[in-house]
A and B are shown apart, each in its own frame.
Chain A
Amino acid sequence: MTENNIAVKIDHVSKSFRLPTEASTSLRTTMVNYFRGIKGYKEQHILKDISFDVKKGDFFGIVGKNGSGKSTLLKIISQIYAPEKGAVTVNGNLVSFIELGVGFNPELTGRENVYLNGALLGFSKKEMDELYDEVVAFSELEEFMDRKLKNYSSGMQVRLAFSIAIHADSEILLLDEILAVGDEAFQAKCNDYFLQLKEEGKTVILVTHDMGSVKKYCNKAVLIDDGEVKVIGSPDDVANQYSLDNFARVISDKAEEAEEVEKIVEVDQLTVKMNSPEIITESDTIDFDISYKVLSEIESYIAFSITDVASNAWIYNDNSFDLMTEGKGKKSFNYKVKLPMLNSRKLKLQVSVRNGKNEMVAFASSENTPMIIIERTDVKTISEKDSATGVINRNGNWRVGL
């Protein structure tokens, strides 16, 4: 890969902020602190040695939890912040949209705001003259352009700002969660715009925490966690890792609440071990071991359910009621199942142990609640893609005419 193919090169970038420990920014506190030897701030490392390349034509996703440093990274790429260590090299003309309609002034007319916004984004008056009619037409605000912006509804303002954004013709585009705003019709427009960008082969860097859009638009993505690159590669890898991280957090929160209710411990050391990989195709076998230790003289059996994460609905249950065990000691089971009828879904395996009276005596903790991600391999055509959004894969037959 030659250097010419790289649009943006992020080379060992680190950044830390000084968070003031005192709220005031006055001369007095600064001087007092100086003489007392108090620093008055706390160093916080936001980005730690980040390196990756964005190639020309990439639709590149930057993903991360809130506070992971992804917005700071975006600002460094946009050259709003200077990196502390390392360097960012941008090869080409870059326009960034941290926010829509930056610098919009309510006292100016729509037309004046378009030109002001254009100048702020780095376009000349001539370039804006050429774009102006298209911008206005797309925003559908022809008759309002000579009115002051303060008389626009907020929806109209967003439309105008977005229209400028998408007509901003630049080699590299940086977008920060613009998708998160606007109504359904607006989202649809965004969708069309992104698909169009993708088709044109523009270099786009999208910062978001919406995995759906990453999977939909990006051909490459990076997951930033706690200021470091956690995963870089295909959007699916990144999206799955991201979902896994978030999911683990939610479950551990819930488990902590539930544990307080438990009183008498009859069953201990319940562990679930996956033998099959985390990400499987529709033809793979889901294979796992369950073991637990019974502490008192009770009958016990296992009940588990496979839950669809997105809808939180049970889609598959089974139990070992007919293989009831008796007495104390370590019990272990293996289970194998194929679920070829399922579409690409994220599933979680929730295991519990029950006694002979059908009462739950133990349930698996968060580290023993594995994720199962099914990625179908046979979804290729438009028809297949469109029908693959439900839980169960289509299995019917069409006949034309009656």
Chain B
Amino acid sequence: MSSKNWILLKELVKTDFKLRYQGSLMGHLWSILKPLMLFAVMYTVFIYFLRFGGDVPHFAVALLLGMVLWTFFTETTGMGLTSIVGRGDLLRKLSFPSQIIVVSVSINALINLVINLGIVLILGFINGVEISIYALPLIPLLLIELYALALGISFILSTLFVRFRDIGPIWEVFLQAGMYMTPIIYPISFVADAHPLIAKVMMLSPLAQIIQDARYLLTSSETATTWQMISNKGIAIIPYLIPFIVLLIGFSIFNKSAKKFAEIL
């Protein structure tokens, strides 16, 4: 990527960041307040009333961690979906690589994720979580994996959305279903106790794998990970590879259609 494009990417990220809480009284304080309030709600509902995850250590923090990672995924793909159409005015009148638009949206979600993770870590310390010694090198790798997945899907969705606006509601429903199919608000042991095979299949999803790995590293070594649950390592590696394959496919699909965007929009 040329330096010109870096500058443009930086400007677009800066603009989006500035405009995120535009007009609100507390401005960027919301970046911190929102996850805290979300945590309060989840704690009340799932821990206090529903009593999910009774035997899971530090379930409250694990719950929030899963929620924060999932939120990043929905935010990136949701905003990525509409990003090209939303910036149609620019694409019709200026010549610059349209990839920058999708990347700038994902970077903004990434900034949010880092803020949120910071809050989770602080809450974790207060809770006295058990942090693995491997967390420092491995957490960034997990984040790269998550980012690759979200960006790859954003590329695919934004390309499709230019031609088919139906993708909007379809993806919304898909995300809703995805949230219940991923062990976020319930521990994976809920499923594994009743249907071990279904639990194993669920753990082949990169999101389930990322969330469980992150919980293993940041909350408790008792967390069940894909690596532990699936004995065949040839199969267990699948969720680790999917994000990068998706990114490659997404990027090539996007590149193929990119030069036509200005005409269709």
Contacts and interface: CB of A to CB of B under 8 A. Distances in A.
Interface of A: 17, 25-28, 30, 75, 78-82, 96, 98-99, 102-103, 105, 107-108, 112, 115-116, 119-125
A116 B15 contact: yes
Given A78-B95, A96-B95, A103-B90, A26 B166 contact: yes
Contacts of A103: 89-90, 94
Given A27-B166, A98-B93, A102-B90, A107 B7 contact: no
Interface in B93-134: 93-96
Given A80-B262, A105-B19, A119 B93 contact: no
Contacts, number: 75
Contact of A116 (B3, B11, B23, B91): B11
Interface residues of B, number: 29
Contact of B96 (A30, A108, A122): A122
A122 B92 contact: no
A30 B94 CA distance: 29
B163 A25 contact: yes
Contacts of B163: 25, 30
B260 A124 contact: no
A80 B95 contact: yes
B90 A82 contact: no
B34 interface: no
Contacts of A82: 259-260
A9 to B, nearest CB: 17
B94 to A, nearest CB: 6
A82 B262 CA distance: 9
A80 B93 contact: yes
B28 interface: no
Nearest to A31: B164
B165 interface: yes
Contact of B11 (A27, A98, A115): A115
Contacts of B18: 107-108, 112
Nearest to A26: B166
Nearest to A115: B11
B94 A120 contact: yes
Q: B23, B93, B165, B167 — which one has the most chain A CB atoms within 10 A of its CB?
A: B93
B22 interface: yes
A98 B93 CA distance: 6
A26 B170 CA distance: 12
A81 B15 contact: no
A271 B263 CA distance: 48
B233 interface: no
Given A80-B91, A82-B260, A105-B19, A124 B164 contact: no
23 contacts: A25-B165, A26-B165, A30-B163, A80-B93, A81-B259, A81-B262, A82-B259, A82-B260, A96-B95, A99-B93, A102-B93, A103-B89, A103-B90, A103-B94, A105-B15, A112-B18, A116-B12, A116-B15, A119-B8, A120-B8, A120-B94, A120-B96, A124-B7
Given A122-B4, A122-B96, A102 B19 contact: no
Contact of A17 (B4, B164, B263): B263
Q: Enumerate the 3 nearest inter-chain pairs by beta-carbon distance, A residue then B residue, closest first.
A: A119-B11, A79-B95, A82-B259
Given A17-B263, A80-B95, A107-B19, A102 B8 contact: no
Contacts of A119: 7-8, 10-12
Q: A17, A103, A112 — which one has the most chain B CB atoms within 10 A of its CB?
A: A103
Contacts of B96: 120, 122
Interface string B249-265: 00000000001101100
Interface string B81-95: 000000001111111
Contacts of A102: 89-90, 93-94
B97 to A, nearest CB: 11
Given A81-B259, A119-B8, 4 more contacts: A17-B263, A25-B163, A98-B93, A120-B90
Interface string B54-94: 00000000000000000000000000000000000111111
A135 B262 CA distance: 29
A285 B111 CA distance: 78
B257 to A, nearest CB: 11
Contacts of B23: 107
Interface string B10-29: 11100100110011000000
Contacts of A122: 4, 8, 96
